[in-house]
Amino acid sequence: MIAPIDPGVRIGHVHLKVADLERSLAFYCGVLGFEVTQR
């Protein structure tokens, strides 16, 4: 059985190349719950 990810785990850096930045931000922030910390 897979254990859930501890809430204290953080993703430090993500670099993605996307065609539509605003659409991608809406998905990653709105759907997946990511938070933009610097732009």
The rounded average pLDDT for each run of 10 residues, N- to C-terminus, in the chain (39 residues) is 89 88 95 88
pLDDT of residue 21: 94
pLDDT of residue 35: 87
CA distances from 8 to 4, 5, 39 (A): 11, 8, 23
**Per-residue buried b or exposed e for 16-31, using 16+ beta carbons within 10 Å of the residue's own CB:** eeeeeeeeeeeebeee
pLDDT of residue 11: 79
pLDDT of residue 24: 96
> Other CB atoms closer than 10 Å to residue 34's CB: what's the count?
13
